[in-house]
Amino acid sequence: MAKYEDHILQAKRNLNFLSSINHSVDDCFDWQVTVCFYTALHFVNAHLSKYGLQYRKHKDVNYALNFENRTSPARLPEEEYLAYMALQSLSRRSRYLVNDKRSDQSSTQAHFTYDKHLVRGLRHLNKLLQHFEALYHIDLKPMAIKCDEIKTSEMAYFTRA
């Protein structure tokens, strides 16, 4: 089982990778959103490891984190849980070109990822970073991201480059 420190190290590596691809490629918003999700996933896995928990399936992680699951010692506050779930959905959109919010699942329309989705992903990741930094005193530095949609006043960890 990976340790807390291993997940934190991987999450920080993912943040560095996010910055790297963001500054070297002018689009690829799908990959950037996916990196946002996997960064969050490693922070979540670090959090779960504090309770001796490790899961291999997203649905098990989601259940353990769910703010309504009163039996889980690892549950997140509602806002952070919803941010994680929204980030997971954005990552699915990026990886599979689907929109989980659409009720008509039989549609053959591809749902691409654009800069507005990256900003949503960054906003959700920012919420999670704030939570985990406060909870575990993780040293995280703000990073500049090339994206015109970013409103620097609403995020602590991501500013417009």
Mean pLDDT taken over the chain: 94
Q: Percent of the chain, pLDDT > 90?
A: 87
What band does 152 get if pLDDT is binned at 50, 70 and 90? confident
- What pLDDT is recorded for position 4? 98
**Between helices 115-136 and 29-49, what is the axis angle to 10°?**
20
- What pLDDT is recorded for position 106? 63
Is the Cα torsion angle 15, 87, 155, 26 positive or negative in sign?
Answer: positive
Q: Where are the domains of the chain?
A: 4-160
Answer yes or no: are the C-beta atoms of 90 and 121 closer than 8 Å. Answer: yes
pTM of structure? 0.95
- What pLDDT is recorded for position 8? 98
* Residue 135 CB partners (closer than 8 Å, separation 6+): 47
Examine the pLDDT at 5 and tell me if it is beyond 80.
yes
- What pLDDT is recorded for position 151? 86
**How large is the average pLDDT for residues 131-158?**
93
Instruction: Give per-residue pLDDT as tens, 77-120.
Output: 999 999 999 999 999 999 999 998 866 666 688 999 999 999 99
Answer yes or no: are the C-beta atoms of 119 and 149 closer than 8 Å. Answer: yes
- What pLDDT is recorded for position 24? 96
CATH 1.20.120.330, applies to 4-160: yes
Between vectors from CA 57 to CA 77 and to CA 8, what angle results, nearest 5°? 60
- What pLDDT is recorded for position 104? 62
Which amino acid belongs to residue 108? T
Which amino acid belongs to residue 103? S
- What pLDDT is recorded for position 153? 84
Examine the pLDDT at 60 and tell me if it is beyond 90.
yes
Residue 158's DSSP bridge partners are 143
